[in-house]
Chains A and B, each alone.
Chain A
Amino acid sequence: MTAYRIAIVGSGPAGLSAAAHAARLGLSHVLLEKTDHLSDTIYKYQKGKHVMATPSQLILRSPLDFDAGKREVVLGTWNDQTAAAKVNVKYKAEVKAIVGTGAPIEGSVMKIVSRKRDGSTETKEIQRLAPPYRLTLAGGEEIIADTVILAIGTQGNPNLMACPGGNLPHVQYQLDDPTEYTDEHIFVIGGGDAGIENALGLCADPAQHNTVTLVNRSADFANAKDANVKALFAARDAGRISIMTETTTKEIEPGFITLDTRDGEVRARCDRIIARMGSAPPRGFVEGCGVEFASNDRLAFPKLSATFESTAPGIYVVGALAGYPLIKHCMNQGHDVVEFINGNLDLKPADEPILEAKFAALPKGPGGGRSVADWLEYLRTRVSILTGMSALQMREFMLDSSVKLYRAGDVIFERNAPGSSLFGIADGQVLVEVNPSDPSITVPINAGTIFGEVGLISGRRRGATVRAGADCILVEISRNAALKLMSQVPSAAREITRITTERSLLQIFKSGLAPADLVDVIAAAKVETVRAGQAIIREGEQGDDIFIIRSGSMVVEKSIGGKPVFLNYVPAGSFVGEMGVIDGGPRTATVRAAVKSDVIRLAGEPFRALLAAQPQLLDKLRGEMANRTRLNNFIESKKDSFSSVVDMYTGVANFLVEQGVGEATDVLLIDEKLCVGCDNCEKACADTHDGLSRLDREAGRTYAHLHVPTSCRHCEHPHCMADCPPNAIHRGPTGEVYIDDTCIGCGNCQRNCPYGVIRMDKVPPKKPWLLSWFLFGSGPGPGEPSHKWAKKADPAYAEKAKKAIKCDMCSGQEGGPACVRACPTGAAIRVSPEQFLSVALMAREGK
């Protein structure tokens, strides 16, 4: 068997570009692709999808062409050019294992930790062997190669049907076109969004005469979006689909399926099975090749050198799997990695000019200008949380961050400014204005450490103004880069947690505390994650721990007359449980998480010692406690006289918390006692935002005539930001979560938002002037124009790319939210939860 110089696994933009470059350089190579076509991820995009080529400043180095355009054109170009370049492609060649064939590499042992369902972990050790590598394909065929480029993306493999018959040909794991099937008995396995959407697609048109059954392992559909679950139940009620819950597949035979249900076994006719049981990330396979990941975090990527080499010598990782999800990056890396393998170690990455620009404004320092590599090394060694990063990680990290020189006295951020970025001090010193009424009282923070972490962790506004104490060089780490940093570099995560704990204590309790006072309290502090609905304090129980809410929020309730009554809403950045430490009695109320939250638990014992030493702190807590007791008494007194009002208040509060108001910073509410259904709010939204409305007034949940329409809540920790390839979603200067022009329309954010408030659509052409509509009826009038009109008015409309559209809180508009301004009756208001979930609500319900 001849050994190839390079085996490339995966023919996405990264692998394809690598193979084409290897072909051009005349290196012996093979490109192994699992499917029967190139670039499966892009192949699976929706038909006609407009593929974007961001970032635009980045030059393309690949031998293949790539321009923004239709999916079909992009794939067509690559198919032609791959053939022309004589790339040696092997289709239907899924690589199952990669093992060295050389001698054991001394001291190089791969530890794989797997977590089992019961929470215990198992560690497996693999001795790494030197190259050349043997790649085993699914069919058993073997291939030998000196070096391997792993470019398999992050899509992973669908979880397979494990029951007997699971490998029969009528079991499929994807549904490309639901209209393809008619007159069939189809079982869809899996109650997640993918399964539900497929099942609904198959039964959408009764003319297809499909008998569709959805099979779900658990009793409910906790993993699917509310809107999908509702649509599913509606389809069942309409008799279009059957649902079987608490059911698993026992056996599959041609024409039949046997299911295990709660009431025993059921055998049914079945022509087709569509299994959508999630997919296993490729991590297991990659680790099995000896490639180590940066941490156990779900978000972690493989550890790589500056030349993309993994911990297994000779195995390189590029593309989305290396942490670069944009096509252009993938293609450039494919080119670069082949250059590196071919010995061109001096090659500068394509993003070098972008990084150069980032450092251009910094002082040259002694000894003249620093190179990009010097600057990265300078930052890495100066800022403690960056120390654990590799050179490649630093590069990537820097693309998402910025570095700036501040002169002594410059304000870095102001109190109450929104901001979720973290700052690292590479040089100099900053001053924190701890007393808002007297800016001259400051606390210094020195070079090497960080600040701004409160905004990052809690998602809330800055707690204090910070200015430069001396000239300083600061790295500003965006929220995304910081989250990635924490998942890639465990030591950084620990350090950030330690600092946030100390700082949040100082910030919340203030009262002239110094870090030295807190040593004992912090030593006994624990950060805990609380599920939504879980209680951290239970009424009647004994306990004296104090809790600081780090992220998320809590509701406080008390049982009165046997019913839980809502007392208060506690946002991140506050504390609860002080009564226990002060008066030692049993807990007077229950505190539970409104959304998934992080709390810092402070043990009562050391805290009591702290209180004894710090009388001002005790006074402060007493004051807070008196306030809360007053509120409780007020509500309790109402309970006797106006029991129904208090019930209503509790009902409304619980409803709002259920609707995600607990993680909202700003939410649109509609009082349906006032709403006349004129939809002027929607029209105003469209007219102030490119002709597209970002809210659906009628949709959404309602309780006691209080309606939460489908509109962005501007979450403290926006779910939509989690997985945006171009990183296009940000928090703006007035706290709004918005999407910028770099959106590539992939729809990830739409899938990730639990409230279904993001839509994918294209901007319609400009409408004629309103006056001409008034006078002559030309144009579609106020509000969002119909697609039909848009198509007629602009021939190019049909070809335009769809992008993600969502509420931007009308930031930049002097008048504030247009929906609220435009409501003729005052039914629509936009408020923060603290504003609304207060006793004022009770006054309203009392009316």
Chain B
Amino acid sequence: MASTAPTRKAMTGKAVTRAPRDTAHEGFLNHRRARWAKVAGIISLVALLAYMLTDPTPRHNGGTWLGYTLGSIGAGMIVWLSLLGVRKRVIGARPFSLKGWTSAHVYLGLSLIVIGTLHTGFQLGWNVHTLAWALMMIVILSGLWGISLYATVPERLSANRGEVTQQQMLEAIRTLDRQMDLAAQPLGADDAALVRMSLEQCRIAGSLGQRLSGNYTSDGNALALAAISEKVMAGMRSGRSDERLQQIQFLLERKEAALAQTRRHIRMKAQLELWLYIHVPVTVALLAALFAHIISVFLYW
């Protein structure tokens, strides 16, 4: 037991205080008692009051001092909001809370509805400026969709998987396949073909149509199960029940249940990401449109 190598962090006997950390058990929407909701609310309120209390000539638009102010704030916020994608991936050793960032992101992002829209002075038309506004609204609406999913899906996801991991789900299906393959050895060609259908024409996630509709009755396993069940029933009616077929039916049923659980799992995981496939690309488009909008304003206005 003789370790004589120097240890990396020797104990010094000093009461080294642990790095401060967030141990509060609250979700991102309530982070610090919804501090960012309040900040965003106040910003929106101030913007709204300023808009209502001032009466610029000829009318409200992006070119008034208020318009410039709101525009600058809005553009700054959009850039900052986009940086969440970077913050999320660059961890480092320094303190920060992604939860805090997400909280601020959501509420400040929402306040952009007020700031961005007031910035336009409701001067919408078919031009690059309105394009920027519309893209912004799409990003924001997709964000809203996102948090509605974040609020509801996790609990169902957790309930569906119990204590099973995704990998274990896939393994369970693979194991059932192997057992079915074994159990099908003594079967006749017809029955074996049905089993092969389950083995070869079953797609766990399914086609796009199946995924969207949630209807998998045309999948190989479901078809095989239906056909085998029919045969088992027929056998029972005729009083010649085939134990080997019943075993196959049992395995197909178990696979169907395993497939259903896995599909629900994948579906919900996809839901939690799907909205980001609108949110993020449109953000990129928005940044481009915003850039074009600002350039054109300074060149032509």
Q: Is A628 part of the binding interface, using a Cβ–Cβ cutoff of 8 Å?
A: no
CB distance A734 to B2 under 8 Å? no
On chain A, the residues within 8 Å of B2 by CB distance are 55, 324, 326, 329, 351, 354, 396, 399-400, 727
Of the candidates B25, B95, B162, which one forms a contact with A829 in the assembled complex, judged by CB atoms under 8 Å apart? Answer: B25
Known: A414-B13, A421-B11, A680-B98. A671 touches B5 (CB 8 A): no
CB of A75 closer than 8 Å to a CB of B: no
CB-based contact B96/A733 at 8 Å: no
Quick check: is A552 within 8 A (CB to CB) of the other chain?
A: no
Near B by CB (< 8 A), chain A positions 404-441 give 411-419, 421
Give the B interface residue count (CB, 8 A).
Answer: 64
Is A658 close to B, CB under 8 A? no
What separation, in Å, do the CA atoms of A699 and B26 have in the docked complex?
23
Q: A413-B13, A734-B18 are in contact. Are A740 and B31 (CB under 8 A)?
A: no
Determine whether B9 belongs to the interface, using a CB cutoff of 8 Å to chain A.
yes
Residues of A within 8 A of B235 (CB): none
CA distance A253 to B159 in the complex (A): 50
Smallest Cβ-Cβ distance to A415: which chain B residue: B15
A294 at the interface (CB under 8 A from B): no
Cβ–Cβ < 8 Å partners of A810 in chain B: 19, 93
User: Would you call A94 an interface residue if the criterion is a C-beta within 8 Å of the partner chain's C-beta atoms?
Assistant: no
- Dominant SS among interface residues on chain B: loop
Q: Which of A687, A699, A829 contacts B22 (CB 8 A)?
A: A829
How close is A826's CB to chain B, nearest CB, in angstroms?
4
Interface 9-mer from A262-270, A383-391, A812-820: A812-820
List, in ascending order, chain B residues with CB within 8 A of A701's CB. Answer: 163
A57 touches B4 (CB 8 A): yes
**With A411-B13, A417-B15, A418-B11 as given contacts, are A673 and B95 in contact (CB-CB < 8 Å)?**
no
A740 touches B16 (CB 8 A): no
B88 to chain A, nearest CB (A): 6
**Is B21 on the interface with A (CB-CB < 8 A)?**
yes
CB interface residues, B 18-35, toward A, < 8 Å: 18-28, 31
1/0 per residue, CB under 8 A from B, across A297-331: the answer is 00000000000000000000000000111100100
A785 interfacial by beta-carbon distance below 8 Å: no
* Residue pair B16, A826 in contact (C-beta under 8 Å): no
Instruction: Report whether A414 and B3 are in contact in the complex, using a CB–CB cutoff of 8 Å.
Output: no
Q: Are A823 and B99 in contact (CB under 8 A)?
A: yes
Question: Is there a chain A Cβ closer than 8 Å to B179's Cβ?
Answer: yes
- In contact, A55 and B28 (Cβ under 8 angstroms): no
Contact with B along A664-704 (1 / 0, CB 8 A): 00000001111111101001100110000000001111100
Cβ of A822 and Cβ of B88 under 8 Å apart? yes
Give Cα A812–Cα B13 distance, bound, in whole angstroms. Answer: 16
Would you call A812 and B21 a contact (CB within 8 A)?
no
Per-position contact with A for B260-294: 1 when CB-CB < 8 Å, else 0?
00000000010010000000000000000000000
Judged by a CB distance under 8 angstroms, whether B237 is at the interface is no
What 0/1 readout, one digit per residue, does chain A (223-241) give for beta carbons within 8 Å of chain B? 0000000000010001110
Binds A, one of B66-74, B109-117, B170-178: B170-178
**Which residues does chain A contribute within 8 Å of B15, judged by CB atoms?**
413-417, 461-462
Q: How far is the CA of A617 from the CA of B168 in the complex (A)?
A: 57
| Cβ-defined contact, A814 with B93, below 8 A | yes
Q: Which residue of B lies closest to A826 (CB)?
A: B99
**B179 nearest CB across to chain A (Å):** 5
Would you call A79 an interface residue if the criterion is a C-beta within 8 Å of the partner chain's C-beta atoms?
no
A residues less than 8 Å from B9 (CB atoms):
732-733, 738, 811-812
Contact of B21 with A817 in the complex, beta carbons under 8 Å: yes
Q: A705–B155 contact, CB under 8 A?
A: yes
- B27 and A826 contact, CB distance less than 8 A: yes
Compute how far the CA of A671 lies from the CA of B7 in the bound complex, rounded to whole angstroms: 36
Contact A727 B99 (CB under 8 A): no
B168: shortest Cβ distance to chain A, in Å? Answer: 8
Q: Which residue of B lies closest to A240 (CB)?
A: B175
Report the minimal beta-carbon distance from B20 to chain A, rounded to whole angstroms: 7
Is there contact, CB below 8 Å, between B8 and A829?
A: no
Nearest residue, chain A, Cβ from B31: A826
Known: A324-B1, A414-B14. A698 touches B165 (CB 8 A): yes
Question: Contacting A823 at CB < 8 Å: which of B19, B98, B168, B176?
Answer: B98
Contact residues of B between 152 and 173, Cβ < 8 Å to A: 153-155, 157-159, 161-163, 165-168, 172
B1 touches A825 (CB 8 A): no
Quote the shortest CB–CB distance from A211 to chain B (angstroms).
Answer: 12
Which chain A residue lies CB-closest to B265? A677
B165, A699: Cβ atoms closer than 8 Å: yes
Q: Does A782 contact B (CB under 8 A)?
A: yes
Q: In this assembly, does B90 line the interface, its C-beta being within 8 Å of a C-beta of chain A?
A: yes
Q: Which residue of B lies closest to A238 (CB)?
A: B175
- B98 and A675 form a contact (CB under 8 A): no
Mask, A44-66, CB within 8 Å of B = 1, is: 00000000001111100000000
Query: Which size class do A's interface residues fall under?
Result: 35 or more
Is B123 part of the contact surface with A, judged by Cβ < 8 Å? no
Q: Is B18 within 8 A of A676, CB to CB? A: no
B89 CB within 8 Å of chain A: yes
In the complex the two chains form, is B98's CB within 8 Å of A206's CB? no
Interface string of B239-274 (1 = CB under 8 A from A): 000000000000000000000000000000100100
Contact A816 B8 (CB under 8 A): no
Chain B residues lying within 8 Å of A827, measured Cβ to Cβ, are 27, 154
Asked if A740 contacts B28 (CB within 8 A), the reply is no
- The answer to whether A417 and B16 touch (CB under 8 A), given A399-B1, A699-B165, A814-B94, is yes
- The verdict on A824 contacting chain B, using a C-beta distance below 8 Å, is yes
Min Cβ gap B252→A in Å is: 14
Q: Are B102 and A824 in contact, with the CB atoms below 8 A?
A: yes
Cα distance A677–B160 when bound, in Å? 13
Q: State in angstroms the CA–CA spacing of A551 and B250 once bound together.
A: 51
In the complex, are the beta carbons of B21 and A830 less than 8 A apart?
yes
**Residue B208 interfacial (CB < 8 Å):** no
B91 contacts the other chain (Cβ, under 8 Å)? yes
Q: Please state if B95 and A821 are interface contacts (CB–CB under 8 Å).
A: yes
Across the interface, B269 reaches (CB within 8 A) one of A329, A677, A705, A813, namely A677
Q: How far is the CB of A301 from chain B (nearest CB, A)?
A: 10
Q: Which 9 A-B pairs have the closest CB atoms?
A: A413-B13, A672-B158, A816-B21, A815-B95, A399-B2, A727-B3, A816-B19, A813-B93, A414-B15
| Cross-chain pairs A/B with CB under 8 angstroms, 21 sampled | A54-B3, A56-B5, A57-B5, A324-B2, A400-B3, A462-B15, A484-B1, A674-B27, A688-B91, A698-B165, A726-B5, A812-B9, A814-B93, A815-B93, A816-B21, A820-B22, A821-B21, A821-B98, A829-B25, A835-B23, A840-B25
Given A414-B13, A812-B93; 16 other pairs, CB 8 A cutoff: A55-B3, A324-B2, A354-B2, A413-B15, A417-B14, A673-B154, A683-B91, A702-B163, A705-B159, A707-B158, A728-B3, A733-B9, A735-B18, A824-B28, A826-B22, A831-B23
